[in-house]
């Protein structure tokens, strides 16, 4: 009968020794986007120091993108579990329009209107989950259809018009005050980013979401309720998208029927670009927020240089294609390393 030593010295395998080293290539892979961000600021600052390198310009960049930051952070939850949500733009439009219609047009208290808007986002996420997980329809198709339906609903409840006059209470809570010279809206996105980072990195639910996104079959065999995790991510994305719509209504003081469509492409571009930074190969909150401001800074700099407006579409579209390609590289590299091991 063989015996097992009770006090054996731990044997350090070669991969463990490699993991203990800090490799410059790995650091560059994680923080390459941050470096590119700094270089981008330096280039535009050198070309237009009198207009780009000003406190007012950076305050505008940080404060004006809270809606996009929140929307993209919500999207990363669904992407983390391996699904797509193309209805986020429609959810944003619906939420903003509900706030405007209920508060400005029908005189509802702003708090009640906001609660209804957020509940509508949860309902949209639940409906998406129903069709994806009960009827087995691909999330790309379901959410594309849902988003189109939502645009029709928005046109219906608004009579295809822009509605203004949202309560100053909401406006002041979003853009009416500032902290350290930056509109308070920026800090909503920062707080959400920190919350989602904690969720994904330090909670059981976050780990389950990551496992489901990596492999649903293996997750199911490990005892994870894959359906519940995916459904919950879709609902959470709907709620956060609705919150982005509330921020939009507070930023503009109203709502228009086509507001959400303009956020869809930038949100996906930022989400995939963010997956190339901080934690390469994984959708992560800090990478996402850096990617949003990297893209927006590029657009702002080009605008200051006098580049025509159509370049914005080229910039976001090109960034999306490049970001998708780069975000897949760490995963392909990992698979190659596993095959060669």
* Residue 111: partners with Cβ closer than 8 Å, 6 or more residues away: none
Average pLDDT over residues 261-266: 89
Please tell me the class of the 50-327 domain. mainly alpha
How far apart (Å, rounded) are the C-alpha atoms in residues 87 and 238?
8
* Long-range CB contact pairs, 138-147, < 8 A, 24+: 139/78, 139/83, 139/84, 139/85, 139/234, 140/84, 140/86, 143/84, 143/85, 143/86, 143/87, 144/86, 144/87, 146/86, 146/87, 146/90, 147/86, 147/87, 147/88, 147/89, 147/90, 147/91, 147/264
Q: Which pLDDT tens digit goes with each residue over 102-146?
A: 999 999 999 999 999 999 999 999 999 999 999 999 999 999 999
Report the predicted TM-score, pTM, of the whole model to 2 decimal places.
0.86
Q: What residues does 254 pair with on adjacent strands?
A: 164
Q: Please state the domain extents for the chain.
A: 50-327
The per-residue pLDDT for 3 is 43
Write out pLDDT tens, residues 214-258: 889 999 988 999 999 999 999 999 999 999 999 999 999 999 988
Do residues 285 and 197 lie in contact, with contact meaning Cβ atoms separated by under 8 Å?
yes
3-state secondary structure of 164: strand
- pLDDT 10s digits, 123-134: 999 999 999 999
Beta bridge partners of 183: 178
Q: Looking at residue 1, what is its pLDDT?
A: 43
pLDDT of 40 reads 85
Q: How far apart are CA 26 and CA 280, in angstroms?
A: 10
């Amino acid at each position: 009968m063989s015996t097992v030593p009770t006090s054996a010295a731990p044997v350090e395998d070669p991969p463990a020794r490699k993991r203990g080293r800090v490799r410059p290539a790995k650091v560059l892979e994680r923080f390459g986007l941050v470096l590119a961000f700094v270089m981008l600021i330096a280039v535009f600052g050198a070309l237009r120091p009198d207009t780009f390198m000003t406190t007012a310009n950076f305050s505008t960049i940080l404060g004006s993108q809270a809606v996009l930051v929140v929307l993209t952070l919500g999207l990363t939850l669904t992407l983390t579990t391996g699904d797509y949500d193309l209805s986020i733009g429609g959810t944003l439009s619906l939420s903003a329009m509900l706030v405007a219609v209920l508060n400005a047009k029908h005189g509802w208290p702003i708090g009640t209107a906001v609660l209804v808007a957020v509940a509508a986002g949860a309902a949209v996420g639940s409906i998406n989950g129903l069709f994806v997980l009960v009827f087995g329809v691909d999330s790309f198709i379901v959410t594309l259809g849902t988003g189109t339906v939502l645009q029709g609903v928005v046109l219906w409840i608004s009579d295809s018009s822009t509605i203004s006059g949202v309560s100053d209470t909401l406006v002041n809570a979003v853009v009416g005050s500032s902290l350290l010279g930056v509109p308070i809206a920026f800090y909503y996105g920062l707080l959400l980013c920190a919350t989602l980072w904690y969720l994904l990195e330090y909670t059981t639910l976050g780990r389950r979401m990551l496992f489901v996104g990596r492999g649903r079959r293996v997750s199911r065999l490990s005892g994870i309720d894959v359906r519940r995790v995916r459904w919950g991510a879709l609902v959470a994305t709907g709620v956060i998208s609705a919150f982005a719509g509330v921020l939009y209504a507070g930023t503009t003081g109203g709502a228009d029927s086509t507001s959400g469509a303009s956020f869809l492409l930038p949100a996906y571009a930022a989400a995939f670009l963010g997956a190339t930074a901080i934690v390469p190969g994984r959708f992560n909150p800090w990478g996402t927020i850096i990617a949003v401001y990297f893209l927006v800074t590029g657009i702002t700099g080009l605008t200051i240089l006098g580049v025509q407006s159509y370049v914005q579409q080229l910039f976001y579209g090109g960034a999306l294609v490049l970001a998708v390609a780069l975000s897949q590289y760490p995963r392909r590299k990992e698979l190659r390393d596993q095959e060669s091991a």
